[in-house]
């Protein structure tokens, strides 16, 4: 495969990024985008609206890094950078430690 060819997964991920950028004020890290693009649950417009509402709530409380849970997906969000750092869709089945967050928002 040449450098100019892209895989189906890369193409799907690029389409996902373009769609998010059209409707979201939040930025998404490559890690978060990858997690969401391969997730079975995906990210609906309603989920994105709830995530943005959770972001606003955390920002209004003065949070810097928040864990925002929407529709069984946990998002770690840098409030000060308006960036979704990562998304965990399988957080209930894997043992994980999340540190350096100062708030949790359940939506």
pTM: 0.79
Q: Rounded CA gap, 87 and 84, in Å?
A: 8
Write out pLDDT tens, residues 23-55.
778 998 888 887 877 666 667 888 889 999 999
- Residues in CB range of 54: below 8 A, 6 or more apart: 66, 68, 70, 75, 77, 105, 107
Per-domain boundaries in the chain: 8-106
SS3 16: helix
């Amino acid at each position: 495969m040449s450098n100019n060819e892209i895989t189906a997964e890369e193409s799907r991920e690029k389409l996902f990024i373009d769609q998010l950028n059209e409707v979201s004020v939040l930025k998404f890290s490559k890690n978060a985008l990858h997690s969401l693009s391969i997730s079975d649950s995906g990210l609906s417009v309603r989920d994105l609206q709830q995530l943005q509402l959770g972001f606003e709530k955390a920002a209004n409380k003065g949070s810097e890094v928040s864990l925002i849970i929407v529709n069984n997906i946990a998002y770690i969000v840098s409030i000060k950078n308006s960036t979704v750092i990562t998304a965990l869709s399988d957080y209930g089945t894997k043992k994980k430690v999340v540190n350096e967050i100062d708030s949790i928002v359940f939506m």
